[in-house]
Amino acid sequence: LSNSLKKILAKHKNQSFVNYLSNLSPNNGSLWTASKSILKYKPPLVPIINPHGGFATTDAEKADLFKEHLSRTFTPHSDIQIPIHTDIVNRYLDIPLPISPAVKHFSPGDVKFAIQKHSLKKSPGFDLITAEVARSLPKRAIVLLTVIYNACLRLSYFPMLWKFSVTILVPKPNKPPDISSSYRPISLLPFFGKILERLILKRILPFISSSSILPNTQFGFRTAHSSIHQLHRLVDAISFSLEKKSYCSCVFLDISQAFDRVWHEGLLYKIKPLLHPTYYLLIKSYLMDRYFQVRVGTSHSGLAKISAGVPQGGILSPVLFNIYAADQPTSPFTTVAEYADDKAIISVHDNPHIASLNLQLHLDLMADWYKKWRVKVNQSKSLHTTFTLRLSPCPMVSLDNIQIPSSQSAKYLGLTIDRRLTWSQHIKIKRIALNARLRFLKNLISKNKHTPLNTKLLIYKSLFKPMWTYGLQLWGNAKKSNTNKITSFVKSQILHLISQT
């Protein structure tokens, strides 16, 4: 009887799995739900270490612990500032604004367009209003919303409830899950507050473009700019130095909590002469008196104030951060590559000492700027790499009298660049990543005659191909012995498994 039951259960389990595979389809979302569930990083459910002693085990305890951690994070760096400069900033902000004509009001068409442009996949804030609900609003509701938005514009006031965020914590991969700093905060903001942000952004972008405040070296969060474009600039500078048999001394800087620690007064100091007074006061209201609440599972923490940073999840946040970082110093002897808070400084010269000297002079300027605007650089996570065909590297460099570690390779915007531009290390890392993904998804594509061939090909094109083709226009000219490690794996492993019936 026991054996008979085992056989019946095994047969039922196999039949259920066959039905599950046969019903996978991209049309109803079941395929993407299945693949997302398989690939999703699942951190172990472990207690969080409390710095005051003990552990946080329940959701309520974890929420309170994360709230305490984030309330310390959402403040300016207290140990980094120049008091004289801080006084200058505060005195400038106290200067009355000039009298200026009223700005153009929002129309119902503007509001409706902003609602239609908003993604349907975004999570709602505390009010649980989604884009799908807002798109179903009648014309009368759109007109009433427009009246509210125009009142906000006229009064230069951003409603406090629309600034309140429910913060969830997303675990960082390959970080210890029992430490509160191993989680990334994501702010879930009310839907209609984000629509107001989108309306403001559309109005201030012409001011930003006409003033040319953003440097040409900044490619993050800008139209017609991408990470691949920035990588092209960086790799082109390295290739040029290798062709000339010169030394390319390069530093990759790691900014500590760049978005979460933006100094509000410093940001307003930079925005005040740039924008119309109405938009300046509206953004000032947007930044001030912000509060958040942490959600873990079904538990919520108490309220805490945000005294610094731009919310990760806000529509205005990327542009505000770009403005804050726009006036970083440059040098005629170096080249800069920036993508949001990822910064690389390149110095090329025939003499390794002069190459490092030019780089050091630029880093000294950066150290002054970081102190001035209360930005903290993590020197231990920053890297100094010498790209050259010669044996001897460039001399070491430092930032704020702390030496930056040297490395034979550096990872920048998803590509691992080695000192001789052979791409061997990047290809090796991608091969390991493809192996890992294939192990996760093998049941969906390997020796599986129940899933249609078109579905298997779709899995390959969506989940495998983007992994190894990213940056292909840059590393695709590597030696054949290196590129074969990827192409042979794709052909002999993935595509061969897919073609099996």
pLDDT digits (tens, 9 = 90+) for 92-118: 999 999 988 989 999 999 999 999 999
For the stretch 192-204, pLDDT in tens is 999 999 999 999 9
Which residue type occupies 413? L
The yes-or-no verdict on residue 41 having pLDDT over 80 is no
CB within 8 A of 89, min separation 6: which ones?
265, 266, 269
| Phi-psi domain of 212 (left: phi exceeds 0; alpha: psi -120 through 50; beta: other) | left
Secondary structure element (H or E) that encloses residue 281, with its range: helix 277-287
**What pLDDT, on the 0 to 100 scale, is given for residue 497?**
74
**What pLDDT, on the 0 to 100 scale, is given for residue 433?**
92
Answer yes or no: are the C-beta atoms of 299 and 57 closer than 8 Å: no
**What pLDDT, on the 0 to 100 scale, is given for residue 39?**
79
For the stretch 55-96, pLDDT in tens is 889 999 999 999 999 999 999 998 898 999 999 999 999 999
Mean pLDDT over 9-22 rounds to 77
pLDDT-derived band of residue 229, with 50, 70 and 90 as boundaries? very high
Interatomic CA distance for residues 59 and 51, integer angstroms? 17
Interatomic CA distance for residues 441 and 446, integer angstroms? 8
Secondary structure element (H or E) that encloses residue 319, with its range: helix 317-324
**What pLDDT, on the 0 to 100 scale, is given for residue 64?**
94
**What pLDDT, on the 0 to 100 scale, is given for residue 223?**
87
**What pLDDT, on the 0 to 100 scale, is given for residue 448?**
67
Average pLDDT value for the chain: 90
Mean pLDDT over 293-312 rounds to 92
Four-CA torsion 116, 117, 120, 125, nearest 10 degrees = -90
Interatomic CA distance for residues 300 and 347, integer angstroms? 50
282: tokens are 């509206």
The yes-or-no verdict on residue 391 having pLDDT over 90 is no
Q: Give which of 177, 220, 496 is closest to 341, Cα–Cα.
A: 220
**What pLDDT, on the 0 to 100 scale, is given for residue 447?**
64
